Structure 1
Amino acid sequence: MKAIVGVADMKVSNNPEESIITYSLGSCIGLVIYDPVVKVGGILHYMLPESSIDKGKAAQRPYMFADSGIPRLFKTAYKMGAVKQRLNIYVAGGAEILDQKGFFNIGKRNYMALKKMFFKNNVMINKENVGGNTNRTVRIEISTGNIYVKTSGSKEVRI
């Protein structure tokens, strides 16, 4: 069973039959967390670093922004029994797709917002696949915690 995480969306599950996937991470970030003890995993697909640029939109769609989406991802997983110290964390995306010259640097800014928040909260990233200029698709299997990534023009690989 596949649960799809759209743009500016999030899903957390403890259903071993489920696999969560998010497609076409360009400058967006796909943040994957997984607790192997209780087998709780989730993906957040956020678009922008800071909700302060549009408070109204942030209230309606908190998963659109790093600073409002990331805490919700973690808190939802904690409610399902996940423990911060046990989490495996994978980050993908943050590419410069439409902005090859780096004028807006949305991908980089999205990634830096996450790094800053993680640093403040003493959270470590286990693996990442960020930057460059390719789209990525990320999938996690809830039963195993296996994470797969597919970049444009290549096969899906387990990381």
Structure 2
Amino acid sequence: MIQQNLIKVGMADLNIATEGAVLKTTGLGSCVGLTLFDPIRKVAGMAHVMLPSSDIARETKMNLAKYADTAIPELLDRMVAAGAYIERMKAKMAGGAQMFAMSGHSDSLRIGPRNVESCIEMLHKFKIPILAQDTGGSFGRTIEFDSTNGLLSIRSVQFGIKEI
């Protein structure tokens, strides 16, 4: 998906797109690329979620985009400000891989799966349905999200390009 109007979303970042712009983020390993779309207003949003919960935040000025429990409400606020309606939003997500082999069963090392679980929990809280997801595994992904049609394109070295 090569588009002229490409909006890059960095790690622990979020943004919205309208008028045919495409949101793109790279380097999704254990991070989750969460996308939201209002199909009537054609407002798209993407968050590159690094960690499941802001309860562990240690920074003096919290980066809301870094955590699932703060990124999703912030993304919703920005999308609503752009004219979207939460009641019409649909979600898709990718990432949440388990990038390193674990010898023990420490929950703190399950960052990818915990990120996915936390995103799902937040979406349920806002009653936003998840239309599709490409999560888990042990490989990285790059995603692009089209604000004209809500198409999520997922690229990985192992599996090429997949569209959901």
Q: TM-score, normalised by structure 1?
A: 0.90
Unaligned residue ranges in structure 2 (runs of 5+): none
SS at match of 1:126: strand
* Pair 1:99–1:82, CA change in 2 (3 A): farther
Aligned match of 1:124 in 112, 118, 129?
Answer: 129
Percentage of pairs with the same residue:
30
Using the TM superposition, give the Cα deviation of residue 15 of structure 1 relative to its aligned residue in structure 2, in angstroms. 2.7
Using the TM superposition, give the Cα deviation of residue 98 of structure 1 relative to its aligned residue in structure 2, in angstroms. 2.7
Aligned match of 1:46 in 49, 61, 83?
Answer: 49
For residues 162 and 133 of structure 2, the distance between their equivalents in structure 1, rounded to whole angstroms, comes to: 13
Aligned match of 1:146 in 144, 151, 159?
Answer: 151
Contact 1:35 1:82 in 2 (8 A): yes
> Does 2:37 correspond to 1:34?
yes
Aligned match of 1:105 in 96, 105, 110?
Answer: 110
Unaligned residue ranges in structure 1 (runs of 5+): none
Q: Match of 2:52, as an amino acid? A: P
Using the TM superposition, give the Cα deviation of residue 106 of structure 1 relative to its aligned residue in structure 2, in angstroms. 0.3
* Number of equivalent positions: 157
* Pair 1:143–1:119, CA change in 2 (3 A): closer
For residues 155 and 28 of structure 1, the distance between their equivalents in structure 2, rounded to whole angstroms, comes to: 19
Contact 1:33 1:88 in 2 (8 A): yes
Q: Match of 1:15, as an amino acid? A: E
**Pairwise mapping of residues 89-100 of structure 1 onto structure 2 (< 5 A)?**
89-100=91-102
> Does 2:18 correspond to 1:14?
yes
Matched residue, 1:157: 162
Using the TM superposition, give the Cα deviation of residue 95 of structure 1 relative to its aligned residue in structure 2, in angstroms. 0.4
Using the TM superposition, give the Cα deviation of residue 151 of structure 1 relative to its aligned residue in structure 2, in angstroms. 1.8
